[in-house]
Amino acid sequence: MTETPTPKEVLSSLHYSAETERVIPTCLKIGGFKLANPVALAPMAGVTDLPMRELCVELGAGMAVAEMLTSDPKLLASRKSSLRRRHSAKGGLRSVQIVGSEPQQLANAARLNADDGADVIDINMGCPAKKVCKKAAGSALLADEDRVAEILKAVVSAVDVPVTLKIRTGVSPQQRNGVAIAKIAEDAGIQLLTVHGRTRADRFKGEAEYHTIERIVDAVSIPVLANGDITTPAQALAVLQKTGAAGIMIGRAALGRPWLPGAIAQSLAGLRTPLPSLAERFLQMRCHLTALHDFHGDFMGVRIARKHVGWFIDAIENDVASSFTEWKRHFNALQDADAQQTLLQTLELRCTDNPSALRNNELAA
């Protein structure tokens, strides 16, 4: 069975010498909160709902940030926003991310969420989505440093809980103003900064760069989480070594792999831990499926489950060296929660009984 490498093993494979080694963080402080480890699950709209956050935290993520929530009070009563406002003790530290462009509206949203029990308010200045940016919110704000300062001051003074900020490295490769934004954030009283190593103009193109994150870490004394394209314990360690960040945030690599942030945290802590077996991963997915059906209701739950099971199947395809395109197609056509569970169980039996014999055409009738 594959095991997570220890930092020593990773470092030797990366050819780091003892002099260049940085101390790897083992915990993370956000204001008065101390997290068990410095590996966070990234906020992902349409993905990090309560079931996903609970699962990732149960499997060892230090924190799981909720999906961005509008600061527009007119939209808060919608079904989508109501579900995004749900939290539980099992989901760990309640970090509620708000998005908007008006300082007072964001301050009011922060107050509302803090009154609702948020432990931390996170402000989204990293999202490049057109829907968000056309209202000059998300990463579009990075181009207006005065407004950034106004928003951050308004939100920080509105609540007693710690306020954190998520940004990109700047507006564009020609205007990487991440360092300036980070200093504004520190001056405004922001207590933790997450930096995705791409600019707004990059969207998700190309590879994340960590040099600007390193410059930001050097420029401020608040903790910084490095984010972007981290998919393995070795990469996590390399990014921490390169940037000196206080922790890392994992997004897309956790799709279909809710155990990954926890496994990375274990590895960073120097523990050589086995990666979950196929049987364990199926068990996690079956519990996740039940939680999605319960949380979203049968109609929406069945639809939302399709993408999670799709990612899960993509993630195990590599391990059993087989293609499951037909299984996914079949799963996506199912309209019923019980039928989804049954198909997942059948796939599990086929995978665990005889993975090498598994082929698309072995679909259960």
Ligand X SMILES: Cc1cc2nc3c(=O)[nH]c(=O)nc-3n(C[C@H](O)[C@H](O)[C@H](O)COP(=O)(O)O)c2cc1C
Closest distance of CB 251 from ligand X, Å:
3
Of 2-10, 226-234, 303-311, 342-350, the segment contacting ligand X by CB under 6 A is 226-234
Which of 68, 343 has the CB closer to ligand X? 68
Of 38-46, 100-108, 157-165, 317-325, the segment contacting ligand X by CB under 6 A is 38-46
Tokens of 311: 């990612």
CA–CA separation, 104 vs 61, rounded Å?
Answer: 33
For residue 44, which of 199, 251, 206, 227 has the smallest C-alpha distance? 251
**CA-to-CA dists, residue 107 to 113, 123, 156, 167, angstroms:** 10, 10, 8, 18
Closest distance of CB 40 from ligand X, Å:
10
Closest distance of CB 121 from ligand X, Å:
13
**Residue 54 interacting with ligand X (CB under 6 A):** no
H runs (alpha helix) in the chain: 7-14, 50-58, 79-84, 103-115, 130-133, 145-158, 178-188, 211-219, 233-243, 260-268, 278-320, 325-333, 337-353
Which of 11, 47 has the CB closer to ligand X? 47
The residues, ordered by sequence, that sit 6+ positions from 218 with a Cβ below 8 Å of its Cβ are 244
Closest residue to ligand X, based on beta-carbon distance: 251
- How far does Cα 6 stand from its chain's mean position? 23
Neighbours of 83 (CB within 10 A): 15
92 near 126, Cβ under 8 Å? no
**Residue 216 interacting with ligand X (CB under 6 A):** no
**Residue 250 interacting with ligand X (CB under 6 A):** yes
The residues, ordered by sequence, that sit 6+ positions from 94 with a Cβ below 8 Å of its Cβ are 66, 87, 117, 118, 119, 120
Tokens of 287: 């519990």
Of 76-84, 223-231, 320-328, 335-343, the segment contacting ligand X by CB under 6 A is 223-231
Which of 250, 309 has the CB closer to ligand X? 250
* Interface pick for ligand X out of 4, 38, 61, 67 (rule CB under 6 A): 67
**Residue 256 interacting with ligand X (CB under 6 A):** no
Closest distance of CB 43 from ligand X, Å:
4
The residue count for binding ligand X (CB under 6 A) is 22
* Interface pick for ligand X out of 51, 162, 178, 228 (rule CB under 6 A): 228
Which of 67, 102 has the CB closer to ligand X? 67
Closest distance of CB 304 from ligand X, Å:
13
DSSP letters, 10-44, are: HHHHHT--GGGPPPPP--EEETTEEESSSEEEPP-
Of 104-112, 180-188, 250-258, 331-339, the segment contacting ligand X by CB under 6 A is 250-258
**Residue 230 interacting with ligand X (CB under 6 A):** yes
Q: In DSSP terms, which residues pair with 63 in a beta bridge?
A: 40
Which of 255, 337 has the CB closer to ligand X? 255
**Residue 127 interacting with ligand X (CB under 6 A):** yes
Mapped to the 3 state alphabet, what secondary structure does 217-269 carry? HHHCCCCEEEECCCCCHHHHHHHHHHHCCCEEEECHHHCCCCCHHHHHHHHHC
Which of 47, 358 has the CB closer to ligand X? 47
Q: Is 56 a catalytic residue?
A: no
Which of 225, 347 has the CB closer to ligand X? 225
Residues serving a catalytic function are: 127
Binding site for ligand X (CB under 6 A): 42-47, 67-68, 97, 124, 126-127, 166, 196, 227-230, 250-253
